[in-house]
Amino acid sequence: MADEVVWSGGKLVHAKVTDKVNAKIEKGALTVAHALVLHQTGAATAASSFSSYDKGENGAHFLIDTDGTLYQTARIDQKCWHVGKVRSRCMEMKSCTPEELKVANAILFKKGESYNVRIDNLYQHEAAKSYPDRFPLNEDSLGIEIVGSFDAKAQTYAAVTKDQNEALTWLVDVLTVKLALGSGDVFTHGAIGYKQPTEASTAQWTKP
Ligand SMILES: [Zn+2]
């Protein structure tokens, strides 16, 4: 279990955590966090993420460097843009009701519309549901970035390191207590979005 931690103003205060909170990636109040979404950065260094955060676009709440150094990059009571469009959860889990499957298929395979428009429409349809009927969104989740490069030729992310998995396990434990997460509330971005399925696929943590 996680040892004693202190939360102050949305920040995790602990010797294991380095404060690198950057207000530029904070996008307004986050009133509830039901889930964690694990990412990989697509770059080999933490510095690359820090400089991208200075531009004020996408970001997440925590960043784990290759040596396991854990940074907090946004306060947990603030939204970050880290999830983007999600897939239909019941389609992925093969748990849609027959009516819902009909509706989702009609959106996803609508003739005469581009793929991007169709997946955006399906995302809008999902976003109208509440968690956990859909995958988590920026509006109700925290993001954890794991530094790791992407091999464009092999179309795979670097394996998450042992040090990173140890830091991740500690952080997931702490956030599980803080957010009262359940065993199904930690997701990898690769499993819920439309990007690379290998994103964070080698991450290991202890299920809440
Ligand atoms: Zn991601």
> 3-class secondary structure for 38-85?
EEEEEECCHHHHHHHHCCCCCCCCEEECCCCCEEECCCCCECCCCCCC
pLDDT average, residue stretch 168-193: 97
pLDDT average, residue stretch 177-185: 95
DSSP state of 193: S
- For the cut 60, the answer to whether the pLDDT of residue 207 exceeds it is yes
pLDDT average, residue stretch 74-103: 98
User: What are the DSSP calls for 138-184, one per residue?
Assistant: GGGEEEEEEEEEEETTTTEEPPPPHHHHHHHHHHHHHHHHHHT--TT
Domain range list for the chain? 6-84+135-192, 89-127
- For the cut 90, the answer to whether the pLDDT of residue 141 exceeds it is yes
- For the cut 90, the answer to whether the pLDDT of residue 202 exceeds it is yes
Q: What is the pLDDT of residues 51-69, one digit of tens each?
A: 999 999 999 999 999 999 9
Q: What is the pLDDT of residues 188-200, one digit of tens each?
A: 999 999 989 999 9
Burial of 97 (0-12, 13-18, 19+ CB in 10 A): exposed
The backbone torsions φ and ψ at residue 73, rounded to the nearest 5 degrees and listed phi first, read -115, -15
- Rounded Cα–Cα distance for residues 166 and 176 (Å): 15
- List, as ranges, residues with CB under 5 A of the ion ligand 1: 39, 189
- In angstroms, the Cα distances linking 118 to 110, 115, 178, 181, 192 are 7, 5, 37, 32, 16
Structure tokens at 125: 């349809």
Q: How far is the CA of 84 from the centre of ligand 1 (A)?
A: 8
- For the cut 90, the answer to whether the pLDDT of residue 179 exceeds it is yes
Q: How far is the CA of 47 from the centre of ligand 1 (A)?
A: 17
Q: How far is the CA of 70 from the centre of ligand 1 (A)?
A: 17
Q: What is the pLDDT of residues 109-125, one digit of tens each?
A: 999 999 999 999 999 99
Q: How far is the CA of 39 from the centre of ligand 1 (A)?
A: 4
- For the cut 90, the answer to whether the pLDDT of residue 35 exceeds it is yes
The percent of residues in the chain predicted with pLDDT above 70, rounded, is 99
Q: How far is the CA of 109 from the centre of ligand 1 (A)?
A: 25
Q: How far is the CA of 82 from the centre of ligand 1 (A)?
A: 6
Q: How far is the CA of 99 from the centre of ligand 1 (A)?
A: 31
Q: How far is the CA of 89 from the centre of ligand 1 (A)?
A: 17
CATH class of segment(s) 6-84+135-192: alpha beta
Q: How far is the CA of 38 from the centre of ligand 1 (A)?
A: 7
Q: How far is the CA of 98 from the centre of ligand 1 (A)?
A: 31
- For the cut 60, the answer to whether the pLDDT of residue 106 exceeds it is yes
Q: How far is the CA of 44 from the centre of ligand 1 (A)?
A: 15
Q: How far is the CA of 97 from the centre of ligand 1 (A)?
A: 29
Q: How far is the CA of 186 from the centre of ligand 1 (A)?
A: 13
pTM of the model: 0.96
Q: What is the pLDDT of residue 201?
A: 97
Q: What is the pLDDT of residue 125?
A: 98
Average pLDDT across the chain, whole number: 96
- For the cut 70, the answer to whether the pLDDT of residue 3 exceeds it is no
- For the cut 70, the answer to whether the pLDDT of residue 1 exceeds it is no
Q: How far is the CA of 75 from the centre of ligand 1 (A)?
A: 18
The percent of residues in the chain predicted with pLDDT above 90, rounded, is 95
62 Cβ partners below 8 Å, 6+ apart?
70, 71, 72, 73, 142, 143, 144, 145, 171
